[in-house]
């Protein structure tokens, strides 16, 4: 049975260069700036609009109400009309939503715009997965995802630091408009750089991807999805609540919060790139994908859980140090969990696979902000919220380490 008859396409041709990967990283950077700017502005918006912690948690969660299910739509579109065009449509939509947020006057308007933002940003991960799995060999996936992960890490860093500084001087409304306009500008180099690749993707013949039900029927899909949830719970807990935690619970100023948040995400960025490079070199030296990917994910989940537990019980200085240390382990995981999905799905199914994995994994973005807001309202502190994040992270060890037996392309026949 040849490759095509098993539902795969020809081996990756390495048709995309660093320029396209760099634009994917920049797009990821913009994605995380725009999704996180509400958390940065939360101390100002909460006071100006008179929101409760529960209302704030709903707004922080609302993004994921559409972002999560639209992963499936984005994965389908990436296979149907090609990932280059799908990503461009998504960026255009979320840019408009970000600009409009600067003019929102109340809770309802903010809620609607966060829903639209989630729809647009849902295109990023399925499109990235389809592009990388189609065009790159397995031993290059770590470094490519590491480069893109730099954008994922530095987006919150710049959004928290620069956004916090700008909001402190000019207020939150002009900053949303500025960030939305900058996001829209990304479309110009993307459309130019990918014009030929986009046209080729439409004409290239390949076997049809498996149906979503076939993907959901795989044990590996559930292991990857639950492991992704366990990673995202702690990550989105930190991204969503870090500004309010530092300002309200630890007494930092808005500017100090921005500086600490930036340091955390810079550590994350350094970790994600170095982890991807180390993983690629380890595989090039002969280690199996299973050994490399599982080693990184299990170690990362143990580290994240330890950092969250320290934050739950320690004083301000040690807690902040543990928060900064968590950036190291978030980076290790981010450089690993996406290559796992891209490898399992293969060139044929990576878009749909990552749509499913990210859809289930990002339900954590719905759950974590609301649970945290409820817990903080009931207890008056963040200790229990950190403990819950630690417990969920530990569950990820089971998902990645035991439910997934081997990290290798699935034979869709």
* Opening angle at CA 127, ends 124 and 131, nearest 5: 135
The answer to whether residue 292 is domain-embedded is yes
Q: What percentage of residues in the chain have a pLDDT greater than 90?
A: 37
pLDDT value at 357 more than 90: yes
Ramachandran class of 407: left when φ > 0, alpha when ψ lies in -120 to 50, beta otherwise: beta
**pLDDT value at residue 352:** 87
Cβ–Cβ < 8 Å for 383, 249: no
**pLDDT value at residue 369:** 82
pLDDT value at 314 more than 50: yes
The answer to whether residue 410 is domain-embedded is no
- As for how many domains the chain has, the answer is 1
The answer to whether residue 198 is domain-embedded is yes
What's the rounded Cα separation, in Å, for the pair 334 and 146?
8
pLDDT value at 10 more than 50: no
* Spatial CA neighbour of 186 closest among 78, 77, 93: 93
The answer to whether residue 409 is domain-embedded is no
Within 10 angstroms of residue 32's Cβ, the number of other Cβ atoms is 22
What's the rounded Cα separation, in Å, for the pair 360 and 358?
6
Q: pLDDT per residue over 360-405, tens digit each?
A: 998 888 888 889 888 988 898 899 999 999 999 999 999 999 999 9
Domain that holds residue 341: 17-403
The answer to whether residue 272 is domain-embedded is yes
- CATH number of the domain within which 136 lies: 1.20.1250.20
H and E: helices and strands count for the chain: 17, 0
**pLDDT value at residue 3:** 38
**pLDDT value at residue 244:** 80
The answer to whether residue 259 is domain-embedded is yes
DSSP state of 314: S
The answer to whether residue 333 is domain-embedded is yes
What's the rounded Cα separation, in Å, for the pair 49 and 397?
41
pTM above 0.95, yes or no: no
Cβ–Cβ < 8 Å for 9, 207: yes
The answer to whether residue 70 is domain-embedded is yes
Name the average pLDDT for the chain: 85
């Amino acid at each position: 049975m040849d490759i095509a008859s098993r539902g795969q396409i020809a081996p990756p041709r390495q048709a995309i260069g660093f320029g396209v990967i760099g634009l994917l990283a920049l797009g990821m950077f913009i994605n995380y700036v725009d999704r996180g700017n509400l958390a940065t502005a939360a101390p100002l918006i909460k006071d100006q609009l008179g929101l409760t912690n529960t209302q704030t948690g709903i707004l922080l969660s609302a993004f994921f109400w559409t972002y999560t299910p639209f992963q499936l739509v984005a994965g389908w579109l990436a296979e149907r009309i090609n990932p280059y065009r799908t990503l461009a449509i998504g960026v255009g939509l979320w840019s408009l939503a970000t600009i409009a947020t600067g003019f929102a006057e109340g809770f309802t308007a903010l809620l609607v715009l966060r829903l639209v933002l989630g729809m647009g940003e849902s295109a990023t991960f399925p499109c990235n997965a389809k592009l990388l799995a189609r065009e790159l060999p397995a031993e290059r996936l770590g470094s490519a995802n590491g480069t893109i992960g730099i954008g994922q890490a530095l987006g919150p860093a710049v959004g928290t630091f620069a956004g916090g500084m700008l909001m402190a001087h000019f207020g939150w409304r002009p900053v949303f408009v500025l960030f939305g306009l900058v996001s829209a500008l990304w479309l110009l180099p993307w459309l130019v750089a990918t014009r030929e690749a986009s046209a080729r993707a439409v004409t290239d013949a390949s076997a049809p991807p498996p149906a979503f039900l076939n993907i959901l029927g795989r044990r590996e899909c559930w292991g990857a999805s639950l492991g992704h949830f366990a990673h995202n719970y702690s990550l989105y807990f930190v991204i969503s609540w870090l500004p309010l935690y530092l300002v309200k619970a630890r007494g930092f100023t808005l500017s100090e919060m921005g500086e600490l948040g930036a340091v955390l995400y810079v550590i994350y960025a350094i970790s994600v790139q170095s982890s991807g490079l180390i993983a690629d070199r380890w595989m090039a030296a002969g280690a199996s994908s299973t050994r490399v990917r599982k080693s990184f994910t299990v170690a990362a989940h143990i580290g994240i859980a330890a950092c969250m537990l320290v934050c739950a019980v320690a004083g301000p200085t040690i807690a902040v140090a543990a928060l900064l240390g968590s950036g190291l382990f978030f980076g290790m995981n981010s450089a690993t969990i996406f290559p796992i999905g891209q490898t399992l799905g293969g060139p044929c199914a990576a878009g749909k696979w990552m749509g499913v994995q990210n859809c289930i994994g990002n339900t954590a973005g719905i759950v974590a902000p609301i649970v945290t807001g409820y817990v903080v309202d009931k207890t008056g502190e963040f200790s229990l919220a950190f403990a819950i994040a630690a417990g969920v992270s530990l569950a990820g060890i089971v998902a990645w380490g035991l439910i997934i037996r081997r990290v290798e392309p699935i034979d869709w026949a």
